[in-house]
Amino acid sequence: MSTHKIMFLPHQREITVQEGENLIRAAMEAGVHVNASCGGEGVCGKCRVIVEAGEVEGGLSEKLGQDDIEKGYRQACLAKVKSDLVVRIPIESVVDAGALNRQATPRRTARIREINLDELKEKGLFVPPVEKKHLKLPEPTAQDNLPDVSRLVGYLKLKHDEHHLEVDLSVIRKIPHVLREKNFEVTATLARPVREDSKTRIINVQPGDTTDRNYAIAMDIGTTTIYGQVLDLKTGRVLSQYGDFNGQISYGEDVISRIVYSEKPGGLEKLNQVVIETINQVIGQIVKGSKIDPDEISTITLAGNTTMTQLMLNVDSRHIRRSPYVPAATLYPPVRAADLGMALGDHVTALVYPAVSSYVGGDIVAGVMGSGIYRTDELTLYMDIGTNAEIVIGNKEWLACAACSAGPAFEGGGIKLGMRAQKGAIEDFSIDPVTLEPMNITIGSVRPKGICGSGLITAVATMFEMDIIDSLGKFNREIKTSRIRQTEGIYEYVLAWKDETQIDRDVVLTEPDIDNLIRAKGAMYSGCMTLLEEVGLSAKDIDRIILAGGFGSYVDLEKAMIIGLLPETDSDKVTFIGNGSLMGARMSSLTNRIRRDVVEVTKKMTNFELSETKSYMDNYVAALFLPHTDLNQFPKLKARRQARKNNGPIEPE
């Protein structure tokens, strides 16, 4: 697909976008404010821009008069980029250049990193834990009437140098029929052991040659969402993927409330049954999506936090939530998927990622494996921000990890109009420094319903940078605008007026919301700092940051640093791997070596119970500011604020 350049005026900011990109999103990317209340649905009509050169598709509506249209006015949210453009933002009041400069910086999302299949193959690591062998066995005779299994095993030893083989009962059950279906031409599926000196299991036999069809499932068992992928083990490619809400949500939003439910009579069994149902739905969808024969699936690898893993395995989890927070186990044996209730063939083994502790689970271990922290020299900070938040710091020598009680703010929890990153959530935001009019971008470009984590971070960071809120997260009481008001004694900013929303009331951002965000980011940041201190390092030693979790995909890194969620660093040091848990599950499905390494890695991962770590509370309290009590930890931001102070305060309209 072709790309086009857009020059935004009067800002003189240029950006390159894909053909067909929405113009208002392009402006947001470029850090150019355009008033837009309705989230991009086209109904508020505020996002008028003048296309001075080039061609857009759409952008017309009854909100624009014929005159306007002829002058080049378009509604930015309805216009798609078709060529290089020059776009002018009409400045409807007198703004000084300073104010213009105080506009949002261009978006800086993290580079997305994926598994490098070529590298895996080059290094000889692309050896999935299951392998298919096509064999033409000699047919039995009176002189050679070996048992069917011995015939297969003997041939594999003799012709394929396979030793230490063992055979599953399910194979014994089907082998008489399978061998004779195509005159003793068969394909055997071999499951490799973790330790090289252990036995290789023959888990399946199929008539004829099926070596071109060998698939695996990788799955992330999240507290909120369960994601699955069908992988082609010949190429390593993802054939299909699907995510669905974990059916356990009805029994509690977070792991603690799930555990509480599991302690009721029949509760554990219920939660187990419900998560298996969701898993089976996801399996059904991805099998459908990949158009494969489900019998060709050889293995399923699952990663989840410790509670999700235990509930999936029907393991009593009550002690996870009680001091001293003891899980039943952190290493799980391979289990027949069908024994867990999974709708998969008898021969499929479920491989479950090991955990480190009650609150550093298999999802984080999977992220460590998938992202490769455990084999890098660079000091890496890995942050997984989901319903639970976990941090890992380290490299190939050592790994320190901790769970942060960050709470659900990043997923919209505890925020008055907070919501998950779903259609109608404000995910990006800018504010006119003079009029204080907002620019709301919503997921799906529909009228707002609420605000999600990335929108919240951007809104708070933007307002903090413009001194609309102070370092305590309080609105500047001096500003006079209808957007900032008190409702029942609580200060709030109106992101969208009632008639611009889907919910028949104003979408607002309140001071308690900001306070919750500060606590959440404070927990994450102080967790990082505490871990670093425990190993005698500081933030400036960090070579790179890896963000994982659904949340991280759209976060503006600069904004995350402004609020003090991330240590201040070059945004190109930050990469985003998306669902780290799923990535790790996929990695294990493709390279058996991971399964051997992972046990060593979990041993290397030193878990810090933050609540038991002396300095944590001090660090936490110090982090309950925007960005932090110690501005020296954020030197760039400190410099900007210093410069701004010299320019004087912003004048309200």
- Note whether 263 binds its own copies by CB under 8 A: no
- Note whether 328 binds its own copies by CB under 8 A: yes
- Considering only 78-86, 172-180, 506-514, 530-538, which stretch makes contact with its own copies by CB under 8 A? 172-180
DSSP symbol at 524: H
- Note whether 166 binds its own copies by CB under 8 A: yes
Minimum distance from residue 276 beta carbon to its own copies (Å) = 14
Answer for which of 318, 416, 640, 644 binds its own copies (CB under 8 A) is 318
Residues numbered 179 to 198 that lie near its own copies (CB under 8 A) are 180, 197-198
Answer for which of 141, 482, 632, 646 binds its own copies (CB under 8 A) is 141
- Note whether 265 binds its own copies by CB under 8 A: no
Answer for which of 256, 331, 490, 621 binds its own copies (CB under 8 A) is 331
**Closer CB to its own copies, residue 177 or residue 237?**
177
The binding track of 605-644 with respect to its own copies, each residue x by CB under 8 A or -, is ----x--x--------------------------------
- Note whether 530 binds its own copies by CB under 8 A: no
Minimum distance from residue 271 beta carbon to its own copies (Å) = 14
- Note whether 73 binds its own copies by CB under 8 A: no
Rounded alpha-carbon distances, angstroms, from residue 134 to 115, 189, 393: 29, 9, 45
Contact 234, 212 (CB under 8 A): yes
* SS3 per residue for 218-232: EEEECCCEEEEEEEE
Q: How many alpha carbons fall within 13 Å on the CB side of residue 184?
A: 12
The binding track of 568-607 with respect to its own copies, each residue x by CB under 8 A or -, is ----------------------------------------
Answer for which of 169, 265, 266, 482 binds its own copies (CB under 8 A) is 169
- Note whether 168 binds its own copies by CB under 8 A: yes
CB neighbourhood size of 136 (10 A): 13
- Note whether 173 binds its own copies by CB under 8 A: yes
* SS3 per residue for 380-431: EEEEEECCCEEEEEECCCCEEEEEECCCCHHHCCCCCCECCCCCCEEEEEEE
* Angle between helices 580-590 and 362-371 in degrees, nearest 10: 70
Contact 410, 520 (CB under 8 A): yes
Rounded alpha-carbon distances, angstroms, from residue 347 to 112, 169, 203: 35, 9, 5
Q: What 3-state DSSP class applies to 520? A: helix
Transcribe 113-139 into DSSP letters.
----HHHHHHTT----SEEEEEEEPPP
- Note whether 313 binds its own copies by CB under 8 A: yes
| 591 vs 115: CA distance, rounded Å | 11
- Note whether 523 binds its own copies by CB under 8 A: no
- Note whether 316 binds its own copies by CB under 8 A: yes
Residue count of the chain: 653
| 209 vs 471: CA distance, rounded Å | 67
Residues numbered 336 to 365 that lie near its own copies (CB under 8 A) are 339, 355, 357-358
Q: How far is CA 284 from the centre of its chain?
A: 22
- Considering only 49-57, 315-323, 435-443, 486-494, which stretch makes contact with its own copies by CB under 8 A? 315-323
Query: For binding to its own copies (CB under 8 A), which residues are involved?
Result: 140-150, 166-169, 172-177, 180, 197-198, 313-319, 323-333, 335, 339, 355, 357-358, 609, 612
